[in-house]
Amino acid sequence: MKRLIALLVILMMVMPVIGVAAQEDVVLARLEEYNANLPQGYGLVTVEDLNVMLAEKAVTLLDVREAEEYAAGHLEESFNVPLRTIAQNLNLLPDLDAPIVVVCKGGSRAALAMTALQLLGYTDVTVLKGGYDAWVGEELPTTTDAYTVEAGTAPDVDAAVLAAVDSYLSNIPQGFALVKPTDLAAELVEGGVTVIDVRSDEEWGKGYIEGAQHIWINEFMSRRDEWPQDKDAKIVVYCGIGQRGGIATVLLNLMGYTNVRNMSGGLTAWNAAELPLVGAEAAAPAELDLAKLIGDYVAALPASFNAVRAADLSAELASDNKPFLVDVRTSDEYAEGHIADAINVPLSDLAANLNLLPAQDANLVIVCGSGHRSALAMTALNLLGYSNTRSLISGVGGWKAAELPLVTDPVEATAGAAPTADPTLFEKVSAFLNSIPAGYWTVKAPDLSAELVDNPPVVLDVRTDGEWAEGRIEGAIHMPLRDMMTRQADWPQDKAASIVIYDNPTHRSSMAMAFLRMLGYENVRVLGGGVGAWKGAELPLVTD
């Protein structure tokens, strides 16, 4: 009996320890999973991006500043849940898959909130880049009227992860664990601080803070053996502007590190304070020359311009080299019928969801309704390094015309790791995709015909010489897509000029429009349906 009692006492002492260890394992596994699947762009949306989002869909605006900051002014229809109380107020948030944009003063607190919510399972959380200050800087409307939301039921999230996140958020210190660059510079003179740079290899090669340790944020958890072993060590993390540093701060804190700060404003603020960098003399990549990149891309395009016809795609889908299909239509269009096995990533969401795509050299075909949106998506992906990505010419319309089947059962996409892209290039491509409006910058043949009488745009025909000779829109300038980038002197010099591009059907013109818009042209459209639609509207072509 005494032995039994002794055994029970031992079990009672050990079981809580086992329980804590199991919870720590759950949290560790979640942190590793999260870090391995960070989104391209790290969840930042610009003021311009947010305005587009608000015009196109319902977005929850979550302001995580303190109550008095919120009361002094905030974005319209944003509601306030201070950062430290987020985990205790999940019943105020929408469902786990709803789009949420987090706002704070400058973006630092919002980065912490975003990371915390994503760890809890929220799948579409982003941060307003530059925060409330950036919004006000663009002279956009604000209000002091409080916006309230009705409490619902908190989602079912993992209890161990929720407890860890709540403990972290609730104990964030005054100042929100930020350090100014000038203060960090003074601390570095005194010593005793471990500095971790979480930027990419390319950014690191352009210069870093002397003595910093380099651990790219996308590999942060997998390289935790390189972290300080003392969990009470003074650690400062930094990135370019503070977003990735915020993510690293959360990961370190949830792993038990007690003295972690993020350098406010990142290396941008360090440079603004005219503080020194080292390593900049190392051979850094040349500045992005987007026009040259596009020119090289066009020159290397195959004769098909990366278009695939419905019959050929159908044959490929039945072969051993079956392509991966991505339907970039809206979710409503996709639900009405899509090609079997195609996942749905709407065009406006593509840049933020590259982790749903296969490897950059995978056989990938993009699908939309007519071939226009898919050509835009294909062009963007090709420029980002997707080397075997094509567009279904004429889209689902052409697929149905070929009497090929559609299905309505949705295909669940499996998230992986997004590829690394040149940050400047990704920003250009992402800004282009995110700015595409309803209507996708197309013009119907009758409307273009009327414009040509009243207020004629510059019309570019990007077809081949043979196609041009068979008939063209009167007044059009002939500029085959293959020659386009070598004839920039023939482009309108006014980047605000109204330009309409056409081919037959809509594929090469969509590519040309993407090039011009990425290069700063503001008013470029394509003729929907191309020459076929023009002739279908019984409008004339000329041959002389």
Structural tokens at position 208:
């870093």
Name the residue range of residue 471's domain. Answer: 442-536
Domain assignment present for residue 435? The answer is no
Instruction: State residue 223 phi and psi, 5-degree precision.
Output: -115, 30
Among 295, 304, 446, smallest CA distance to 375 is for 304
- What pLDDT, on the 0 to 100 scale, is given for residue 285? 45
Cross-strand pairs, 344: 327
Residue 45 C-beta-side C-alpha neighbours within 13 Å? 31
Q: Are residues 264 and 326 in the same domain?
A: no
Q: Are residues 302 and 369 in the same domain?
A: yes
State how far the Cα of 225 lies from the Cα of 181, in Å rounded to an integer: 27
Q: Are residues 63 and 122 in the same domain?
A: yes
Asked if 391 and 307 count as a contact pair (C-beta separation under 8 A), the reply is: yes
Asked if 441 and 513 count as a contact pair (C-beta separation under 8 A), the reply is: yes
> Regarding beta strands 74-75 and 142-143, do their DSSP bridges make them parallel or antiparallel, or are they unpaired?
antiparallel
- What pLDDT, on the 0 to 100 scale, is given for residue 22? 64
Domain assignment present for residue 328? The answer is yes
Asked if 511 and 451 count as a contact pair (C-beta separation under 8 A), the reply is: no
| Domains identified in the chain, total number | 4
- What pLDDT, on the 0 to 100 scale, is given for residue 11? 39
Task: Give the distance, in angstroms, between the CA of residue 346 and the centroid of all CA atoms in the same chain.
Answer: 12
State how far the Cα of 32 lies from the Cα of 25, in Å rounded to an integer: 11
Count the neighbouring beta carbons within 10 Å of the beta carbon of residue 475: 11
Domain assignment present for residue 512? The answer is yes
Long-range pairs for 428-431 at CB < 8 Å and ≥24 separation?
Answer: 428/288, 428/290, 428/518, 429/351, 429/380, 429/383, 429/384, 429/518, 430/40, 430/41, 430/351, 430/352, 431/46, 431/48, 431/49
Q: Are residues 268 and 295 in the same domain?
A: no
Structural tokens at position 459:
């019309």
Torsion sign across C-alpha atoms 284, 287, 290, 296: negative
State how far the Cα of 433 lies from the Cα of 265, in Å rounded to an integer: 26
Of 238, 272, 306, the last residue of a domain is: 272
Domain assignment present for residue 432? The answer is no
Q: Are residues 59 and 127 in the same domain?
A: yes
Domain assignment present for residue 169? The answer is no
Q: Are residues 267 and 294 in the same domain?
A: no
Q: Are residues 347 and 389 in the same domain?
A: yes
Q: Are residues 247 and 300 in the same domain?
A: no
Of 149, 166, 198, the last residue of a domain is: 149
Residue 406 is part of a domain; what is its CATH number? 3.40.250.10
Domain assignment present for residue 1? The answer is no
- What pLDDT, on the 0 to 100 scale, is given for residue 421? 81
Helix axis angle, 423-435 to 47-56, nearest 10°: 30
Q: Are residues 221 and 131 in the same domain?
A: no
Name residues whose C-beta falls within 8 Å of residue 109's C-beta, 6 or more positions apart in sequence.
64, 65, 83, 176
- What pLDDT, on the 0 to 100 scale, is given for residue 19? 52
Q: Are residues 375 and 451 in the same domain?
A: no
Q: Are residues 264 and 294 in the same domain?
A: no
Domain assignment present for residue 155? The answer is no
- What pLDDT, on the 0 to 100 scale, is given for residue 397? 95
Element (H, E) at 74: strand 74-75
- pLDDT tens track, the chain, 544 positions: 544 444 444 434 444 433 556 678 889 999 999 999 888 789 999 998 899 889 888 999 999 999 999 999 999 999 999 999 999 999 999 999 999 999 999 999 999 999 999 999 999 999 999 999 999 888 899 999 999 999 999 999 999 999 999 999 999 999 999 999 999 999 999 999 999 999 999 899 989 999 999 999 999 999 999 999 999 999 999 999 999 999 999 999 999 999 999 999 999 999 989 999 998 754 444 568 899 999 999 999 998 999 999 999 999 999 988 999 999 999 999 999 999 999 999 999 999 999 999 999 999 999 999 999 999 999 999 999 999 999 999 999 999 999 999 999 999 998 888 888 888 899 999 999 999 999 999 999 999 999 999 889 999 999 999 999 999 999 999 999 999 999 999 999 999 999 999 999 999 999 999 999 999 999 999 999 999 999 999 999 999 8
State how far the Cα of 286 lies from the Cα of 179, in Å rounded to an integer: 31
**Amino acid at the residue 504:** N
pTM of the model: 0.54
Of 375, 399, 416, the last residue of a domain is: 416
Q: Are residues 216 and 310 in the same domain?
A: no
Domain assignment present for residue 527? The answer is yes
- What pLDDT, on the 0 to 100 scale, is given for residue 17? 38
